[in-house]
A and B are shown apart, each in its own frame.
Chain A
Amino acid sequence: MTIKHKVFAVGLALALAGGGAAVTQAQTKKYTITTVVKIAGVAWFNRMEQGVALFAKDTGQNATQVGPASADAALQNQIVEDLIAKKVDAITVVPNSPESMEPVLKKALDSKIVVVGHEGSNLENVTYDVEAFDNAAFGAHLMDNLAKAMGEEGEYAVFVGHLTAKTHNQWVDAAIARQKDKYPKMKLVADKQESLEDQQVAYTKTKELLQAHPNLKGIQGSASTDVAGAALAVEDAGLGSQVNVVGTSLPSIAGPYITSGTIKAISFWDPAKAAYVVDKVAVMALEGKKVEDGMNFGQEGYEKVTLKGHVITGQAWVDCTKDNLSTFNF
């Protein structure tokens, strides 16, 4: 087969070019590790893919990322089913609905595949789960940012990607609890708004909110596109000086609105660093090594992780405002 020869030749050339690195890699077993994300092709998971690619480059492992074209738990289940049949060594997963994935992840574990979750602290059928931070603490932190932007008073509304998305609801619930506890002059004016992880939906719903609540002073977003959709609606309505937007997002998505001042602050964790740590954990598990409390994973925010049960938690949240926007390239 000529193709095989070509592949072999290219591989040989790469190995030679790799020099010293290739020699050390040859000694460790090469594992196939596939990361299954909620949805492919959005900025957040594109950034995550960079982390996966970096990990593959640094370690020589066959680490790749896949995801469905729409954020549907059913499609994620299908992908994992196929990966089990394909006999990969490890599956790392960012689930749309952690509960819906338990049986298929159990099937993976039963087939001797290492499973590492991310954003799924309640997952049971995983070898480990990696969380960037404690979700309740993060939600409270978002509320602190919103309160600061609003001068600790006035009406606000909150967005979640899906009413069924667990982490988004944890953030928002913790934020509302924080507001009731610390900022009595602020008032939640509507039920949780559902953006369906879609910037256009966030835009439309914000327009409706501004109609229904002309005194609205603050909006907190959860999905990475929520703040951008909300900020555009606020600016279209000419209310940029009245309404403050904060939330979870990425600088590349929220950047223009941070510059214009409608978005006061966004918070996030770097999905690339999270993916890097997740893959590192997967390889440790494959090599039979144990993760320990206080371990250093060599990535910012994961220098001293806490381990509870099988959940590994870092302190990896980052705030981005007008002042440090230019320091981020994703």
Chain B
Amino acid sequence: MQREDSTRSYLVALFGLMVLVFAGIGLGNPSFVSGASLSSMAFQFPEFGLLALAILPTMLSGGIDLSVVSIANLTSIVAALLLKSGHEGLALPLALGAGAACGVLNGVLIGYLRLPAILATLGTMQVIGGLGIVVTGGPAVTGLPDWYAATVNAAPGGIPVPLTVFAVVLVALGVLLRFSSTGVQARLYGANPIAARFAGIPERRLIMTIYVASGIISALAGLVILGHANSAYADYGTSYVLLVVLINILAGVNPAGGSGTVSGVLLAVLLLQFISSGLNFLSFSAFLRDLFFGLLLVIVMSLRVLGGQFRLAAWLARRSA
């Protein structure tokens, strides 16, 4: 069997679907294709796009990280408190450090204590989220220096800063997963952990690296959110947890681990953003958004099982031949 990160035909189909959705909404409301609308979307998706990228390596290795949103909120609180108290130089490194520390906690639970990732991170999601509420006492942390939000919400040359952060992380993670030994090991481990163990892959170190990476990317998402909201709020983005898992499945990441790409994540993020903004533009009810997202997920997963990715690929290959 030919090993591929995601069958190309699936990504092509996803891309086609994205273009169709974009065109369909554009026909329904032409102002959807305007610069203002595109710029508005470019400000929206990087924060959950980053969170989706944070989950990708963990899902690739057959795990999951449900604590990404909690980590993002905790790091934004850490950064906010430091910025507020005048320790502006420490804010970024310590926030990223907090994200990495949360990753270490997940890594220990999953790699060393061998807890199932879904349970371990469900627990740390609550612990880290709870920590955020304890630290702040509930209300949002405000009163940040003006430069921070001004920097994050800026768009030099028409490109929003959060989009740049997202793009850089996307490319870096993509290169890492494709070309580094850690990336290859993560996929092998996800595809078959027992074989990977016998092949001499340093399992614990691998798991630790993966979850620390996830923690650091979550921290970056937290820093983007901090600027976007100009405040740190322990309950921000709670609806993102399931959304980013959905994005990864839609991206063609195998829920059991072993395959998945950043390009798939990019397409899935854009597709969901188009649907979400499109429904707002066409003045549809918010419940339709969840309905569409859910339908999309169910249909995509069913098609992948029914058709079988590989047979579909063979069929497409025959058609194009």
Contact = CB atoms under 8 A, between A and B. Distances in A.
B280 interface: yes
Interface residues of A, number: 36
Given A86-B280, A164-B140, A100 B286 contact: no
A113 to B, nearest CB: 12
Given A84-B36, A164-B138, A74 B280 contact: no
B2 interface: no
Contacts of A86: 31, 37, 280-281
Given A66-B286, A72-B237, A87-B31, A99 B230 contact: yes
Interface in B223-242: 225, 227-231, 233-240
B286 A69 contact: yes
Contacts of A83: 280
Interface residues of B, number: 44
A85 interface: yes
A99 B77 CA distance: 13
A99 B142 contact: yes
A69 B288 CA distance: 9
Q: Which of B137, B235, B236, B283 has the most CB of A within 10 A?
A: B235
Given A74-B240, A82-B40, A82-B281, A67 B230 contact: no
Interface in A47-100: 64, 66-70, 72-75, 77-79, 81-87, 97, 99-100
Main secondary structure of the interface of B (DSSP, over half): helix
B36 A103 contact: no
A84 B40 contact: yes
B286 A68 contact: yes
B289 interface: yes
A41 B285 CA distance: 9
Interface of A: 40-41, 64, 66-70, 72-75, 77-79, 81-87, 97, 99-104, 107, 162-166, 169
Interface of B: 31, 34, 36-37, 39-41, 43-44, 47-48, 133, 136-140, 142, 149, 153, 225, 227-231, 233-240, 276-277, 280-281, 283, 285-287, 289-290
| Shortest Cβ-Cβ A-B pairs, 6 listed | A85-B40, A82-B280, A99-B231, A100-B229, A163-B138, A99-B140
